Amino acid sequence: MRHKFIQALSNSTFFNRFIKSPVPQWLVFMVDISIVLISSIFVLICSSYAGYISQNSGIMILAKSGCIALLFTVSFLITGPYKSIVRLSTTHDTYRVGLAVFVALILTTIGEFCYQLATGYPFIGLWNGFIIGIMVFSLMTITRLFIKYIFHLIGSHVSSRKRVVVLGSAINSFALATALLSEADGHYNPVLLLSLGHQNINSTVNGIPIRPYNPENVVDVFKQYDCDTLLFLSTQMEFMRNGGADVFLSNHIKLLMLNQIEEFDVTEDSTPTISPHVQNIKIEDLLGRDPIITNNPEIARNIKGQTIMITGAAGSIGSEIVRQVARHQAGKIILIDQAETPMHEMQLEMQDSYPDIRIELCVADITNQHRLDRIFDRFRPRMIFHAAAYKHVPMMECNPSEAVLTNVFGTRNLADLALKYNVDRFVMISTDKAVNPTNVMGASKRIAEIYVQSLAYYLQFNADNRSTRFITTRFGNVLGSNGSVIPLFRKQIAEGGPVTVTHRDIIRYFMTIPEACTLVLEAGCMGRGGEIFIFDMGRPIKIYDLASRMISLAGMRPDIDIKIVETGLRPGEKLFEELLNDHERILPTHHKKIMRAKVRVYDYNDVCSRLEQLYNHAYDGEIHDLVAQMKCIVPEYISQNSQFSSIDNEIDKSDQMKELTINY
């Protein structure tokens, strides 16, 4: 009967209106003062009957109770116990009630002594004052607990709320479960706390049971509580990334995440709104790592107030570098890209987010040296982040001339102009596909690395004065970048499948875009010239497992609801990406996430001579000779699953470039 009444009340129009706004503070205040009046009158009447204060008449009792209420009013105004939201009362609120009563008792005691000095008679008596304080504290606390309990009962019986299990049994998880129950017009009903440790097992908090987490019986526990959703805090993400998420996803349990418990919107004149902060977990959350925190003052010193040029500024990496450079308060940012619409969108974003920073948009192709020369001459940048490149492996395998002209000679144009216009630092962004390349794109990026590094060492040995510092950064795939596998999988899942992977065993390294760009800025500022920095990419990820996870996150079953289909390796694609080849090794830097690659360095004049031949082949469209020349420059470039595989047997292995001996 009680449950039916509560259920009917929770579904009533009156209650729904009532819970959407908190009880006004003035009403809470009036209830508290009423408790004081009732307690005072009761104690004084009992005292009169006991003969403790014989002169108390009915009017005198009311007058004295009014005076006591006035003293408590002063105390309440000072300590503010009425300001809290009653349905969310915590231990802190109980402390505040106790403090209010304590201050009131002090005021009452002072009043008692003053009255006795003036009249020679007791006002209410110290013992009565103490009893009144005990009664007021007890009734105020009981009232708050009763209201909180009523909201707890009603909240747990709201039929429209989704039943969820809350992960953890620490204080934050307790607070989350309690706040969800008390949330006005909430969406979630916590029915269980799933403890990751051994504390508080088989106990309850606010009526919510606590059970231990056991991967082997997760399904049974969720069935027992008629629930298919787990809610967890972002602070528990490490557990999820280390296999916890897979346990739940494999058992078709939906995952929801709350960013931070501090994000609950609770103010004096509003009810808590937790639900808007609860979100479906994304695959990027599981693949990402804890954010890298960089406190290197050199970054701000090199960027603040300076003119910074960023190529490929409308792309995934370039646009994030623009944002981070803006946060470091660059004086002027030069954006170079040939994509008109993304550049326009970038301009609007920067005007909205950083109106005080001057942004210059230059729609330009980095293969157009004359156009670049005019841009350099006009703006005279101090630092360049070079992110412009063609990056799609199968597409570049079909268009090797464009890959070489942009990735190699576009880079050479920028590097030469950086030297001509005395740019302080030139930071080139490369890729792990440049290591032991199996495709045109990777080989073109390796040749760009070779040119930039050989130029840097040539200047160190031959320049009479301080010259541009050329630095290269090398890392793998970034999560959610334009054209990457995650947006593709997301689109395929939304369309009902199938999800296509090229090979069941293919693996890749992933970083988040902000993480990669933070390390680019760090490496760019620590480099002295000629270095190739590689980033700690974490553990490689199997793409097939990635597809399975994404399907499960969407609430479906891999290979049942949505098929995963292998399509075969694409031209130039390899199963495993590498960050170093057999002739390279790493050296540490002061940043644990950034290593320096010890690579082969080639003679600059020899590199320039070979690039002239390469340029002629690319410009004339002589594809066979172009790829053959690339294989001569990068002898570790061995084509895989490609039309150019036959060229490998034609290369004269003795025709190697001259290496330099560099003391690292």
DSSP per residue over 186-229, as a string?
-SEEEEEEEESSSTTTT-EETTEEEEE--GGGHHHHHHHTT--E
Distance CA 655, CA 653 (A): 5
Residue 553 reports pLDDT greater than 90: no
The rounded distance, in Å, linking the Cα atoms of 275 and 183 is: 8
Residues 130, 223, single domain; the answer is no
Burial level of 454, CB count in 10 A (0-12/13-18/19+)?
A: buried
- On whether both 270 and 321 belong to a single domain, the answer is no
Give the Cα separation of 636 and 448 in Å (integer): 15
Q: How confident is the model at residue 270 (pLDDT cuts 50, 70, 90)?
A: very low
- Do both 491 and 359 map to the same domain? yes
Residue 254: phi and psi, rounded to 5, are: -75, 140
Peptide bond before residue 498 is cis, with ω within 30 degrees of 0:
yes
408 confidence band (pLDDT: 50, 70, 90): very high
Domain C-terminal end among 153, 188, 209: 153
On the question of pLDDT at 411 being above 60, the answer is yes
Tell me, yes or no, whether 319 and 272 share the same domain.
Answer: no
Q: Look at residue 469 in the predicted model and tell me its pLDDT.
A: 92
Task: Assess if residue 290 is contained within a domain.
Answer: no
Instruction: Place 121 in a pLDDT band, splitting at 50, 70 and 90.
Output: confident
Q: Using the predicted structure, report yes or no on whether residue 81 has a pLDDT greater than 60.
A: yes
Which SS3 state, helix, strand or coil, does residue 511 take? Answer: strand
Asked whether residue 85 falls in the same domain as residue 211, the answer is no
Same-domain pairing of 143 and 173: no
- 192 and 255 share one domain: yes
Both 21 and 119 in a single domain?
yes
- 207-244 confidence digits (pLDDT tens): 788 888 888 888 888 888 888 888 888 778 888 888 88
Give the separation between CA 387 and CA 22, rounded to whole angstroms: 53
Long-range contacts made by residues 179-182, C-beta under 8 angstroms, separation at least 24? 179/88, 179/261, 179/264, 179/272, 179/274, 180/155, 180/231, 180/274, 181/151, 181/152, 181/155, 181/156, 181/206, 181/208, 182/87, 182/88, 182/148, 182/151, 182/152, 182/155, 182/272
Query: Does residue 182 surpass a pLDDT of 70?
Result: no
Is there a single domain that holds both residue 149 and residue 229?
no
Q: What is the pLDDT of residues 504-526, one digit of tens each?
A: 888 887 778 888 888 899 888 88
| Residue with more model confidence, 250 or 387 | 387
pLDDT given at position 62:
82
Write the pLDDT tens digit of every residue in 18-60.
Answer: 554 556 777 888 888 888 888 888 888 887 665 555 555 667 7
- With cut-offs at 50, 70 and 90, classify the pLDDT of residue 267: very low
The domain spanning residue 265 has which CATH number?
3.40.50.720
Q: Give 70's contacts (C-beta < 8 A, 6+ positions apart).
A: none
Read off the pLDDT of each residue in 5-27 and give the average, rounded to a whole number.
57
Q: Of 255, 281, 307, which residue is a domain's last?
A: 281
Contact 402, 325 (CB under 8 A): no
Q: Looking at the domain assignment, is residue 30 inside a domain?
A: yes
Say if strands 204-205 and 188-195 run parallel, antiparallel, or are unpaired: unpaired
Max avg pLDDT among 81-95, 128-142, 344-358: 344-358
> Do 274 and 206 share a domain, yes or no?
yes
CA 517 to chain centroid: 14
**What's the DSSP call for residue 607?**
H
Q: Could you write out the DSSP letters of every residue in 445-486?
A: HHHHHHHHHHHHHHHHHH-SS--PEEEEEEE-EETT-TT-HH
pLDDT at site 423: 94
Is residue 273 over pLDDT 70? no
**How many separate domains does the chain show?**
3
| Torsion angles phi and psi, residue 74, rounded to 5 | -60, -45
Looking at the fold, whether 133 and 167 belong to one and the same domain comes out as no
409 dihedral zone (left: phi>0; alpha: psi -120 to 50; beta): alpha
**Helix or strand holding residue 428 (H, E):** strand 425-431
CA distance 533 to 570: 29
Contact, 541 vs 576, CB < 8 A? Answer: no
* Closest-CA residue to 458 (of 429, 491, 489, 416): 416
Q: What is the pLDDT of residue 50?
A: 56
Query: Taking all residues of the chain, what is their mean pLDDT, rounded to a whole number?
Result: 81
Q: What is the pLDDT of residue 218?
A: 87
- Determine the structural domain holding residue 125 and report its residue range: 2-153
Query: Quick one: pLDDT at residue 52?
Result: 53
CA 204/CA 225 separation, integer angstroms: 15
Least confident of 333-337, 404-408, 432-436, 462-466: 462-466
Give the pLDDT of residue 472: 94
Q: Which residues contact 13 (CB under 8 A, 6 or more apart)?
A: none
Do 172 and 83 lie in one domain? The reply is no
State which H helix or E strand residue 417 sits in.
Answer: helix 411-420
Comparing 261 with 141, the larger pLDDT belongs to 141
Window from 87-96, 419-428, 545-554, 655-664 with minimum mean pLDDT: 655-664
Residues in the chain: 664
Spatial distance between the Cα atoms of 320 and 341, rounded to a whole number of angstroms = 17
- Looking at 153, 170, 198, the residue that finishes a domain is 153
Quick one: pLDDT at residue 586? 74
Q: What is the mean pLDDT of residues 161-169?
A: 82
* 259-268 contacts, C-beta under 8 A, 24 or more apart: 259/234, 260/233, 260/234, 260/235, 261/172, 261/175, 261/176, 261/179, 261/233, 264/179, 266/85, 266/88, 268/25, 268/83
Give domain status of residue 286, yes or no: no
Residue 287 lies in a domain: no
pLDDT-wise least confident of 137-151, 542-556, 573-587: 573-587
- Contact indicator for 572, 507 with CB cutoff of 8 Å: no
